[in-house]
Every structure is written in structure tokens, then in C-alpha cells.
Amino acid sequence: MRKLGLIGYPLGHSFSKKYYLAKFEKEKIAHIDYDLYPFENLADFRSIYESDESFAGFNVTIPHKKNVLTLLDELSPEAAQMQAVNCVRIIRENGQVILKGYNTDAYGFEQSLIPLLQPQHRSALVFGNGGAAKAVYYSLERLNIPYQIVSRNKENGDLTYEELTPELIAEHKLLINCSPVGTFPKIDLCPAIPYEGIGTAHLLYDLIYNPEETLFLTKGKERGAAVKNGYEMLVLQAEKNWMIWNEQL
């Protein structure tokens, strides 16, 4: 039995475990398991994969996407640039354990965004500056879409929410929510922006996938904007992880 898993803390509902176990069953992939490893201290996890050769890789979620870097021997180019990792491949050679980190969030976001882009989506406002936002920044830079970061504090972004005006919202036709505001169970919340600036030329993308339609997206739809949630991004990054791990399986 080969092992894959998700590390983070705390770990509640997991898209990853549900997705991979369903994939293994549907595609009749045997002798591999995917489980959750809620480690507050990464040193505790290190002792497990070093002593158990059945581990082939794992996903990484909050709060470890940055501090897992201290365990890694190699980084893919995108992970090195972002300094954030959500996928690790375990390579065992000549008695050595080598860990290589990747960031497939960027791949998932970029591939799900590209089909929706229209000529007017020339600039973006990104709400939030956490770990998930790094994948968005990276992808927008690759796509040559200039962006401004909106945060609660001026030190953490280019603009604060208080500085947003309807005119500024109208100017930027691509609006991306990377904050957790609106996630289940607090589905009656949304980023505090002047929604009256949104029009039919806008595209609103929310990295949240639960609920399927956040209040942020609902308010955009009400004003005629195109909307997209984060579910496809998750599926795409999950499949990219699987391709990476398959180099070892």
C-alpha cells in the first residue's frame, strides 16, 4: 500500500481526501490510500514519512504552506518564486529521502481563468493577501494582467477596503476574492466593496467553493457580471498533483 495525504492544522472537511478516494474507486486504482494528517508541528510529520517508506507525497494546506519549506530539498520554479508549497513529492534514492515542493494552486487558477478572459479584463483587484493569494499574483503576472492588492491594512496591500470607490471598481474589470470572507458557514458575508461599480463587463472570481455561489458572486451576477467559483481550480490542481506523484508511484 502506497500512501498520500494532506497535512495542515486543524483539518476539518477535506476536498482532497474526498476527491482522491472517489478517483481511486472510479478509476480502479488499487494499493494506494489518501488520508488526513493534522499536525500542528511539522517535526511530528517528518518522523512519520522518514520511518514509513510507503509515503509517496502529500498536499499541504494552512498553516504550513510556507513553513514546510524548511523540510524541502528542492523547489519547482513556481514554488520557488511564490515561496509557498501545496504539493510535495517524496523521492527515495539510495537510502536518501528527498522532498521536492510544488505549487499547483497557480496551475489550477490559471487554467480555470484563461477561458473566461475577455479583452476588457486588462487589470485586476485582488481581495486578500494570504497563502492562496500568492498563486493568484503569480498567475496574473504570467498572464501580463496588472493588479492591485486590497487588504484591511495598508501595510499588507496597495489599497484598503475603505479606499475603494465605485469608480475604481468600474475601472478594474477583473475582481478576485482570495479572502475567506463568505466561506461556509458564514455565507451571509462578502468583501466590503462598492458593488455598485460592477457592470456587465466584469468578471468576478471567488476562490471559495463552499458555498457554490458566495454572496460576492451573487452580488456580481445581480449586476450582470460573469462569475466563477473556486471548484474547478481545486479539481485542476488535484489532477496536477496526481501527475506529479505518479512519477513516484
Active-site residues, by number, are 65
CB atoms within 10 A of CB 37: 18
Q: SS3 sequence, 206-217?
A: ECCCCCCCCHHH
State the DSSP string of 53-83. Answer: TTEEEEEE-TT-TTGGGGG-SEE-HHHHHHT
C-alpha cell at 39: 499536525
> Which residue has cell 450582470?
224
- DSSP for 126-175 reads EE--SHHHHHHHHHHHHTT--EEEEESSGGGSSEEGGG--HHHHHH--EE
Helix axes 104-113, 131-142, angle to 10 degrees: 50
